[in-house]
Structure 1
């Protein structure tokens, strides 16, 4: 591990240069590969991308030599269920966020703090829990990962003024619609509209029940509720029939979320529909963990490899599902490599022993890449990953002393 800074949220301001990049993935479907070999970031924000001769690389505090490997945006897990800190009681998981960081995840988005013991369902308790979760993760990033938390579930008795109050307190999300006590479509639709009017984003529980209290909703009901994200369209864990998945994909224009802890066959079907419709920009990825299936530390990378290989899509496009697509849907600045964006980055290479001749080819064959370094806000947090297969080539880094 490169011990440069303990916490990117509280590190000193300084200049980072990443040089000798062999392949630069942008996170944007419109241009997934950039013609550049250098990134410059100041105070954790990207200021320059291009060829070394065209970038201002002078006076760098940290120089990272990518050694001809691949750089891409840090992965965004769009569907997690945190509690507080790094413990989850669902399957007794410790340090789960730290281990996901080693899988390339630099941002996580809560789909509801559903596993908190004694989770309140009254108006005051729902608001208090959401605000407490949001404040906790804003004040302290476990392992340095950016956790966007505070996602209240829809409970009977919530009023329009409650959504305004939560939004004013910094709440951006609504947890999975279909897990809270609100069971009728009319009430859920009204509350989702209240949330949207206050700038809050929502997603539904899609597929069969997963935990006590969750319910099965038909595709037509989800379309009527009109969430921003069709949460785990491939089930969490049990998927809809393919006819229902088609109804959802064709019946609305909202984001289509595919998760690791779901039905892989249904995931590929939903992706095929989006491909046929020419709407890959709607596909976003998440793990849906911690859950009864545990915490897939490499879940985001496993999904990228699975979708790229079985769906026979270019790997550079599939990486966008886990980065830029999710960033756009959730209105996040990270997730793409561009000027004025956070320098949340992965440096990776093809795994040792893979049949793929390049990183992209190895992923398209279903292999996971080896992560050589993870940076958040321009701060190198780990080198190399302890969870991915070992990379063929590792980056190097050095501090430049004044």
Structure 2
């Protein structure tokens, strides 16, 4: 067995927006990549002493690793859109421990035939099952819906393990014509995310609130704009009259995102708010895209940052049925340790987020393995962790 214990936390975030802070807890223990205990060090002494690695948070905050619910992967740790390699490994340094693909739409020469789109989705899913850049989990293989896809094609995709789909980039004359493919995908257990708002790249079309109401996908992708936002009245109809997950992204309209999360919080729809980066796109490669969104939404809306963090972790996990996203027994051990950045007027990570400061990340654990210390992308944390045994090779500067 391989065990890790993170002790000495000032605050432990649960990932559940209903109870965002684990009361009277300062320790998280994991064995073989799964969380086995969350509680007080005094009650978990035997489990901590049995752990091969012990991380002392020294009063900082322990939280579930961020889930980027809109990350444009293709194959390997490379983005054709920005011609950048190792971007996913860099995202881990931004506290992102897993990502969800919204369709491998940036693949060069992307196919539109039934055989081609099926092959691309299956290849991406299978490749990333065997490849964990920087230690992160990549939920890839999101089939791009095309008018040529039949019910049998979706049965084939289901048999191959594909459970993600994206609508908005297929060869449809009118987006409303995708109704049959959306229904068939859902009937075969595939979660459908739909583009919304203005066109984002050549080959996509604007998708209006009326289109979304007709198509009824599971997830309204970047409802705050990808990057062009939907009209306010249409957004309100989607919030009030549907059950779609409502995705807020960094590469969207910030004013719209703040209004949407405030409305959802006030009207009891917070369960449906999910967060992603929608990068790499024209906005670029953004290792801090998700944590930046959490800081912006926390500081500009006034909503408890522990709850906003849950929208980027537990809400994502529930929407896509992912194993991570919560600091609870049985969840995947994807964990970050963070604190107020050096020089902030805040005293801890939640305080930093509430004033719009990006926390300093001092440790990232994925699958129960300590992956890095002193993030090369966030500001330096005010309180750095201490690790036993020493692991200087994991620090940004090697010390």
In the superposition, the TM-score normalised over structure 1's length comes to 0.94
1:64-83 correspondence to structure 2 within 5 Å: 64-83=55-74
**2:212 is equivalent to residue 217 of structure 1:** no
**2:198 is equivalent to residue 208 of structure 1:** yes
**2:377 is equivalent to residue 387 of structure 1:** yes
Pairwise CA distance, 1:57: 2.5
Pairwise CA distance, 1:399: 3.2
Partner of 1:39: 28
SS in 2 for 1:33: coil
1:3-402 correspondence to structure 2 within 5 Å: 13-35=1-23, 36-55=25-44, 56-175=47-166, 177-185=167-175, 187-399=177-389
SS in 2 for 1:374: strand
Q: Following the alignment from structure 2 to structure 1, what is the Cα–Cα distance between the partners of residues 339 and 261?
A: 26
Summarize deviations over 1:16-52 as a string: whole Å, max 9, x none: 1111111100000121001201111111111111111
Partner of 1:3: none
Pairwise CA distance, 1:340: 0.8
Q: Following the alignment from structure 1 to structure 2, what is the Cα–Cα distance between the partners of residues 185 and 225?
A: 8
Aligned pair count reads 387
SS in 1 for 2:70: strand
Summarize deviations over 1:286-319 as a string: whole Å, max 9, x none: 1111101111110011000000000111111110
Pairwise CA distance, 1:262: 0.7
SS in 2 for 1:249: helix
SS in 2 for 1:380: strand
Of the structure 1 ranges 283-292 and 53-62, higher mean CA displacement relative to structure 2 is found in: 53-62
Q: Following the alignment from structure 2 to structure 1, what is the Cα–Cα distance between the partners of residues 92 and 75?
A: 17
SS in 1 for 2:353: helix
Q: Following the alignment from structure 1 to structure 2, what is the Cα–Cα distance between the partners of residues 40 and 118?
A: 46
Summarize deviations over 1:366-401 as a string: whole Å, max 9, x none: 00000000000110000010000010001111139x
RMSD: 1.2
Summarize deviations over 1:199-258 as a string: whole Å, max 9, x none: 110111110000011111220220221111110001111111211211211120111000
SS in 1 for 2:115: helix
CA contact (8 A) 1:242 1:269 kept: no
CA contact (8 A) 1:227 1:254 kept: yes
Q: Following the alignment from structure 2 to structure 1, what is the Cα–Cα distance between the partners of residues 204 and 101?
A: 17
Unaligned stretches of 5+ in structure 1? 1-12
Summarize deviations over 1:128-167 as a string: whole Å, max 9, x none: 1110000110011111110000111111211001001001
CA contact (8 A) 1:185 1:224 kept: no
Pairwise CA distance, 1:280: 0.8
